[in-house]
Structure 1
Amino acid sequence: MGGPESIPALEAAYSHEEARVKKEVMKSLVKIGTPRAAEFLIEKLREEDPSLMAQAIISLGMLKDPASIEPLAEIASKRENFSDLMEAQKESVKALGIIGDGRAVPHLAKILFRKVWFGKKANDELRLLAALSLGMIGTPEALAAVEEASSRAAGELQTACKRVLDGRERTT
């Protein structure tokens, strides 16, 4: 695959019926890395097929385009506990950390401090991933949120927060 000039051909190839082909198109767009590639991938966040939606999320994380922060944060912050959506939420939280932009901090902090009555185990997983993603972003605001969560949390979340903070102290 070439540069930006190959985007129209890739967009056309995406109309193929097989999910495998569509996933390869998304992976190829990451290598091209233009704003148009990011726009195309953001559109694919609305895919019905959970595996295609997940690939779009992963691809956007790898692309590290700040334009994807809000759409990814929207998916990560949804309050529904359907298993298909939960995987998309987890991937979105991870992608926000990989992108590493401070604009994701308020969204990840909300997830980090979110309490629920139902779906507690799934929410705890998301909270743990949010702590790790905030650590990847590493801004003072991100680390302050992790520190606050560490003082309030218990169990796995507290351990993850402490690990994030310990890792930051060694690298600074």
Structure 2
Amino acid sequence: MSTATIAERLQDADAAVRRLAVIDLPYSDEDDIVPLLLPCLNDGDASVRSEAVRALEGQESADAVQALAAMLLDPDAAVRKAAGEVLGELKESESAAPLLPLLTADVPAEARALAFRAVRALRSPGAFAPAMQSLRDPDAAVRREAVGVLGYLKDEAAIGELAEVAANDPDAEVRRIAIGALGYASSVSVLPALTRGLADAQWMVRDESAQTLGKLRLALAIPDLVRAMQDDYWQVRVKAARSLGLLKAEAGLPALVASLAHPISNLRKEAAIALGEIGDTRAIAPLEGALADPDPDVRKLARLALTAIGLAQKARAGEGA
């Protein structure tokens, strides 16, 4: 379709015609559609603006990103949502620059949250200070996205604040994200926040805590992880089992063996894996029993665990020779 024809339709008095012209523009013979799309972002019809925003997906020129950033302040909610989605697909680190001014406290909460989300994967150092300042923002959505940014930046300077948020934020999702963000910590100082998370009222927070403790290989958390194997939610038990395996925690042996008989096959699978990682010969008989499990994946993992235990025993025997 010729660019000239589409350009003419973009000026039509009928908003429906202009909207369809915007949709057609990416399929035209025009190599650079940005100059034609940018004026459409100021169209009086919200549906035209929304389509213009979507048509700019993948365009990371300075002009395009600057214009998309401004659309986070559009009066129409659908346009703002579309802008947030398109900006969330940005890949180039330089694209963060137009978004940084939107991270300040005088910008509406919705726009700030969307801007933080867009900046997150770009790992812009310039987002660090605004994210830290937003950890106490009244709006939970802003706090969630700010914590996500800090998790991506992996700056040790944020660990103390993230631990505080993980332990005390009133929003469960903020606590969960903060606990996940602590997965890059290099200090045991985060242990109190993570073990507190294992006792959180919300199971998703407990789930994240159990997983993060394994990632950090915090052996001091083994007693808490063993207790987590009795959690009311099997999802939490799965993560606790995974972490006990990563920690090679012999203290978790009884709970893991008991989990081989749990009605949820995912937990039986994770228990088999963990028992293989721990490598204790006391798990051999229970794992041999799991070879008759109705789930073929459990049977396979039990066989692999038995092999792992055998290899671990040979290695230990070789070390003692």
TM-score by length of 2: 0.42
Q: How large is the RMSD of aligned CA atoms in angstroms?
A: 2.9
| Residue 71, structure 1, aligned to residue 224, structure 2 | yes
Distance in 1 between the 2:276 and 2:253 partners?
A: 11
Alignment correspondent of 1:112? 257
Q: 1:163 to 1:62 in 2, by over 3 A?
A: same
Q: Is the 8 A contact 1:112 1:128 kept in 2?
A: no
Alignment correspondent of 2:301? 160
Alignment of 1:97-108 (within 5 A): 97-100=245-248, 104-108=249-253
Task: Give the structure with the higher percent helix.
Answer: 1
Name the % identity: 17
Cα deviation for residue 96 of structure 1 reads 0.7
The equivalent position to 2:263 in structure 1, one of 87, 103, 121, is: 121
Distance in 1 between the 2:169 and 2:289 partners?
A: 49
Distance in 1 between the 2:260 and 2:155 partners?
A: 47
| Residue 33, structure 1, aligned to residue 181, structure 2 | no
Distance in 2 between the 1:105 and 1:20 partners?
A: 32
Distance in 1 between the 2:164 and 2:259 partners?
A: 41
Q: Is the 8 A contact 1:149 1:161 kept in 2?
A: no
Cα deviation for residue 39 of structure 1 reads 1.9
Superposed CA deviations along residues 107-151 of structure 1, whole A, max 9, x for unmatched, are 2244315687xxx523x653442221021223xxx2x13321243
Distance in 2 between the 1:137 and 1:115 partners?
A: 15
Q: Which of the pair has the greater relative contact order for Cα pairs under 8 Å at 6+ separation?
A: 1
Bigger Rg, structure 1 or 2: 2
Alignment correspondent of 1:135? 276
Alignment correspondent of 2:202? 49
**Alignment gaps of 5+ in structure 1:** none
**Letter of the 1:97 counterpart:** G
Residue-pair matches, total: 155
Distance in 1 between the 2:164 and 2:283 partners?
A: 43
